Structures are given as C-alpha cells and as structure tokens.
Amino acid sequence: MASSLNNCPAPAKLNLFLHVTGRRPDGYHLLQTVFQLLDHGDVLHFEARDDGVIRRVTDIAGVPEESDLVVRAAKLLKAASKNSQAEQFGASIRIDKRLPMGGGLGGGSSDAATTLIALNHLWQTGLTRSELMKLGLQLGADVPFFIFGRNAFAEGIGEALVPVTTPDCWFVVIEPGVSVPTAAIFSDPDLTRNTKPVRILDFSGAPNCFGKNDLQIVATKLFPPVAEAIKWLGQYGDARMTGSGACVFCAFQHEQQANEVLQELRGAGSPHWEAWKAKAIERHPLSHLLKS
C-alpha cells in the first residue's frame, strides 16, 4: 500500500446555466444545470497513517477542522470501508486552498470528492465510483458530480447526472470580493422556482449562451459587487454568475482573448476583485483512480 498521494487536484466547476424548476416537500429545490470542470482549483496532499487518526494539517480561516468537508469525507469513507483493517486507517491531509469560500465554484465539494477518491485509492478500500457518489451525496449535492468526473447535465437536487459535451474554450473568472451564503439565496422570496424544464438537446444545440442562472437576480440584489462584476465582464461577452455566487465568468474561444480581458481588468476593475483564467476540461484529473 502506498504511504502518500500528493498534488491531488480538486478542480473548480462552473454552472453554465442554472434553472430552478420546483421545490420538494422537504424544502430542497429542484434544479437543472450543466456542470463544467476547469483546470484550476485547490490541491490536496494525503499522508497515510496507521493509528486511525484523521487530521487536517492546514489551518483554514473560518473552517474548524471537525466541520471541514475534507475531514468529514475521510471519516465517512473509513466508516464505509469494506477493509477489515479499516479501524487503523488514518490520514494527514494538507490543503493548498486556491478557491474562495462562498464563490459558487464548488471548492468545498470538490475538496471532499478528491478526498474520497484519493483515500479510497490510498487505503485500498475498494469502493466503486457509484458507491463513492452515494457517500458524497451525504456531504453535499455537488460532491457526486466531482466523483462522476465528467461534464454533466444535472437534475434533481444536482445528483442525477448525464455526461454532456461542452465547448472547448477558456474562461475568465472574477471573484468579486464577497462570500455569498447559499441559504440566503435559496430562502429569498424573490427567487423564482418555476422555470420550465429543458432537455439536454436544448443545451447541446446552443451551449455557449444557453439559459440563465435563476439565482443571479437574487444574488445581485443582496450583493452589489456581484452585479458590478457581471456588468464589467459583460462588455466582452455573455457574463453570468456561477452557482449561488459570488463568482462571475465569461467564455472565450481563444486563450489570447482571455489574456486581453485580464489585462484590461487589471487597469479598470475594482481593487477588491481577484481574476484568473481557466481552460475547460472534459474529465476530472483523478478519474483514472476509480473503478466504474
């Protein structure tokens, strides 16, 4: 058994569109979206231990170790392990945090998914991709997508996934300097919850500017910096918010176009903004570690 697994990517995601089509009796919202993986994200490092202790060795402001999705994911996997030696399984986990919290990029969910994938391999627990996806759903609705490992058309609360082909392009992403709490967006009375359902074929016929983000109108009302970022980036194309916010993105066919927009932003954007470019990718970088 390997003793460590380093430089494990936890890629960001974008919601190319996000429609709220209804609400379940238990309060969960019914969604339709397309998840897009990016070649930018957090990076995690895992060191196996044989004393049964699971530790996050990186301090993250505002996230206590015990409530971190990474630690919770590791403990969940240990409890679900089919290995007779599972009680001895432990890990020291280091996180190079690059994605903002409350940004709509899936940072915490992606970290949890990478933890499940990496430790399943490191501990040789033997769980399949589908088994890990079921575990991941206990941690959050976006976690199964990252374990699924491909760009996907998602329905339900985000867990019903079908592979979909997305454009090969570059994105400019702006972090507007605010953290948007998901609960505040979904509980707002101005949120519309009755968008007409669409089909995968509808998206495939016009992927670059399809649909909208139903959460955007609420987030821009509550958090003006999000609206400002959309307005600025909208000069260059179809700018919109990802997830429940706060990050804003715009697609470009060529890397040079993305570079030019970033150059403009450095001179004209808000001093509170962080901005970067990322390439669309088709598969999660750790997919090869999983059994179907």
| 10 SS3 class | strand
| Marked catalytic residue, from 68, 142, 214, 277 | 142
Cα–Cα nearest to 74, from 121, 12, 106: 121
CA distance 268 to 110: 32
Longest CA–CA separation in the chain, Å: 59
| Marked catalytic residue, from 13, 78, 97, 277 | 13
Q: How many CB atoms lie within 10 A of CB 87?
A: 10
Is residue 196 annotated as a catalytic residue, yes or no?
no
Tokens coding 196: 């007409």
CA distance 13 to 243: 9
- Termini Cα distance of the chain: 21
CA distances from 158 to 31, 62, 87, 136, 161 (A): 6, 26, 32, 12, 7
CA distance 10 to 112: 8
| 81 SS3 class | coil
Q: How many CB atoms lie within 10 A of CB 217?
A: 16
Is residue 13 annotated as a catalytic residue, yes or no?
yes
Catalytic positions: 13, 142
